[in-house]
C-alpha cells in the first residue's frame, strides 16, 4: 500500500486539536441560537427559518474551499490557510452576535416580519456558520491527506473525541457563568450576559486551539503527498481543473449512499437544535414565556443536556473503532440516538432527560466519524479529495435547509416542539435503515 506510513497518536491528536476550539463555537451556536432569536422576539413558528441561510451558504462555500485548497500549495500548507482565515472571521462574529439585542437597534422597524435586531442577528449567524464551516472543513481534509487507510477510523474518532470535548465546554459555559454570578436574565429583547460571556470566552479558546494546530502540523509537500498516496506528482501539485458538477457526476457510489444516511441524520439534529429549548421549557418548566426566568433557566438546562450528549459522544467515540464492522457501528449508533430523541417527548423530569441525550450522543459520535471514514477510503489516491469533501458537505447542509424550510409547517401539523423531537427520532431510524445501502472499500 502506498500510504503505509503510520502516524503516532500525538501526531493524529495535533492534527485535530484545533477542532476542539472550533466545536466550542459550533456548540455555542447550536445550543443558543434559538434562545437568542426567541429573546429578540421571534415566534416559535419562525425559529426554523433562521437556520436556512447558514447551511445554504455552506453549500456554496464548502465545495469552493475544497476545490481551491486542492490546488493551494504554499509555505503555510495546503489546507491550513483556509483554516486560519475561517477561525479569524468566526472570532470576530462571536464578539458581536450575542450583542444583537444591546446595540440600540430599532425594534419598531420591521421588514418581512423581522425587527432590526433580528436582521442583525440573522446576518451575523450567516457569517458565523459559514466561517465555522470554513475553519472546520480543513481538519477533515487534512486527515484525508495525511492519514493512511488503516488509521482513518482511529484518526476520525480522535477528531470526534476532541469535537465532543469542545461541545461539552461550549454547552456548559452559560450555566457556569450563571453559577458564578453572571446575570442569566436581561431586559426584554436583550440577550443575558451569561450567554454573551460564553461567546466571548469561546472565541478566545477557538483562536488559541486553531493556532496550536496551525503551528504544530506540517502538511506534506506535493512530492511527498504523491508518494504517500501513490499518484503522479504532477497531478498532486496541480490537478487538472475539473468543474464541480463534472466531479459530482464521477463521484463514487459511497458518496451518494452515505449522503442518503446523512440526509436523515442532519435533518434530525436540525430539529434538535431548533426545538429543544422550547420543548424542555414547556415539558419541564411549564412555560412558553421567553422573557421569564423559567424559560432562561430551561435555556441553561439545554446546555447541560447538550453537554450530556457530548459526554455520550466522547465515550462512544472510543467504542466505535472497536467494532469490526463499521456499518454495524453506524446502525447501532443511529438507533440509540433514535430512542433518545423519541423519549424526550414523554419525559417531564429534567434529570431523566440525561439518559435521552446520552443516547443521542451515540448518533452524533458516529455522524462525525464514520461518513468521512467511508468516503475518504473510497477516494484514496484521488487528487480531488478536497473538492469531494467540500461537495460532501452539501449532504450536511441540504437536509438542514429542507428541515428548516419546512419546520414551521411541520410543527403546525405536529402541534408541539416536543413532537418535532419525536419526528427527529423517526428520521434516525430511516437513516439506520439506509446504512445497508452503503458500499465500503
pTM of the model: 0.71
Number of CB atoms found within 10 A of residue 85's CB: 15
- Does residue 130 contact residue 82 with C-beta atoms inside 8 Å? no
DSSP state of 41: T
Distance CA 67, CA 8 (A): 29
Q: How many other C-beta atoms lie within 10 A of the C-beta of residue 439?
A: 13
Residue ranges of domains in the chain: 9-437
User: What pLDDT sits at residue 237?
Assistant: 57
Strand 114-115 versus strand 110-111 pairing type: antiparallel
CATH of 9-437 given 1.10.3720.10, 3.30.360.10, 1.20.1250.20, 3.10.129.10? 1.20.1250.20
- Cell 461537495 identifies what position? 391
pLDDT, residue 304, reads 84
How many residues are present in the chain? Answer: 441
**pLDDT score, position 350:** 87
Geometric angle at alpha carbon 273, from 248 and 176, rounded to 5°: 130
pLDDT value, residue 387: 78
Ordered per-residue pLDDT tens for the chain, 441 residues: 455 578 888 888 888 899 899 989 888 887 777 677 776 666 555 556 666 766 777 777 778 787 787 777 778 878 888 888 889 998 988 887 777 665 565 455 555 566 666 777 777 777 887 888 788 878 888 887 888 777 877 888 788 788 878 888 888 888 888 888 888 876 766 778 888 889 999 999 999 999 999 998 888 887 887 777 777 666 555 556 667 778 778 878 888 999 999 999 999 998 888 888 888 888 888 887 766 788 878 877 887 888 888 889 888 988 888 888 888 999 999 999 999 999 988 888 889 999 999 999 999 989 988 888 888 788 766 667 777 877 888 888 888 888 888 877 887 887 777 788 899 999 999 999 999 998 776
Rg of the chain over Cα atoms, rounded to whole angstroms, equals 21
Q: Which three cell numbers stand for residue 45?
A: 413558528
First to last CA, the chain: 14
**pLDDT at residue 239, as a whole number:** 59
The burial of 40, by beta-carbon neighbours within 10 Å (0-12 exposed, 13-18 middle, 19 or more buried), is given as: buried
Amino acid at each position: 500500500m502506498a500510504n503505509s506510513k503510520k502516524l503516532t497518536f500525538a501526531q493524529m491528536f495535533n492534527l485535530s486539536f484545533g477542532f476542539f476550539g472550533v466545536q466550542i463555537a459550533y456548540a455555542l451556536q447550536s445550543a443558543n441560537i434559538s434562545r437568542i432569536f426567541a429573546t429578540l422576539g421571534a415566534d416559535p413558528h419562525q425559529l426554523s427559518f433562521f437556520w436556512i441561510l447558514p447551511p445554504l451558504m455552506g453549500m456554496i462555500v464548502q465545495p469552493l474551499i475544497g476545490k481551491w485548497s486542492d490546488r493551494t500549495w504554499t509555505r503555510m500548507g495546503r489546507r491550513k490557510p483556509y483554516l486560519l482565515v475561517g477561525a479569524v472571521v468566526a472570532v470576530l462574529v462571536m464578539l458581536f452576535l450575542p450583542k444583537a439585542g444591546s446595540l440600540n437597534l430599532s425594534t419598531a422597524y420591521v421588514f418581512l416580519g423581522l425587527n432590526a435586531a433580528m436582521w442583525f442577528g440573522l446576518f451575523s449567524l450567516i457569517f458565523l456558520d459559514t466561517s465555522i464551516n470554513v475553519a472546520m472543513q480543513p481538519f477533515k481534509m487534512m486527515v484525508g491527506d495525511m492519514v493512511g487507510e488503516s488509521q482513518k477510523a482511529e484518526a476520525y474518532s480522535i477528531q470526534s473525541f476532541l469535537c465532543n470535548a469542545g461541545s461539552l465546554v461550549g454547552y456548559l459555559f452559560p450555566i457556569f457563568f450563571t453559577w458564578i454570578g453572571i446575570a442569566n436574565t436581561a431586559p426584554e429583547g436583550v440577550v443575558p450576559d451569561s450567554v454573551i460571556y460564553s461567546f466571548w470566552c469561546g472565541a478566545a479558546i477557538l483562536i488559541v486551539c486553531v493556532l496550536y494546530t496551525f503551528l504544530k502540523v506540517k502538511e506534506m509537500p506535493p512530492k511527498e503527498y504523491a508518494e504517500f498516496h501513490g499518484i503522479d506528482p504532477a497531478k498532486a501539485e496541480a490537478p487538472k481543473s475539473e468543474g464541480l458538477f463534472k466531479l459530482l457526476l464521477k463521484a463514487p457510489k459511497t458518496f451518494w449512499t452515505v449522503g442518503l444516511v446523512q440526509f436523515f441524520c442532519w435533518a434530525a439534529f436540525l430539529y434538535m437544535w431548533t426545538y429543544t429549548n422550547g420543548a424542555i421549557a414547556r415539558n419541564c418548566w411549564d412555560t412558553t414565556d421567553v422573557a421569564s426566568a423559567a424559560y432562561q433557566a430551561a435555556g441553561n438546562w439545554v446546555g447541560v443536556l447538550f453537554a450530556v450528549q457530548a459526554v455520550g459522544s466522547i465515550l462512544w467515540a472510543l467504542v466505535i473503532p472497536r467494532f469490526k464492522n463499521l456499518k454495524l457501528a453506524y446502525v447501532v449508533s443511529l438507533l440509540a440516538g433514535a430512542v433518545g430523541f423519541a423519549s424526550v417527548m414523554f419525559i417531564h423530569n429534567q434529570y431523566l432527560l440525561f439518559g435521552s441525550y446520552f443516547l443521542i450522543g451515540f448518533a452524533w459520535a458516529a455522524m462525525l466519524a464514520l461518513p468521512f471514514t467511508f468516503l475518504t477510503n473510497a477516494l484514496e489516491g484521488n487528487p480531488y479529495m478536497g473538492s469531494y469533501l467540500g461537495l460532501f458537505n452539501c449532504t450536511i447542509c441540504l437536509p438542514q435547509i429542507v428541515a428548516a424550510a419546512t419546520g414551521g409547517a411541520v410543527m403546525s401539523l405536529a402541534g408541539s416542539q416536543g413532537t418535532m423531537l419525536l419526528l427527529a427520532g423517526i428520521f434516525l431510524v430511516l437513516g439506520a435503515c439506509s446504512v445497508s445501502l452503503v458500499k465500503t472499500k
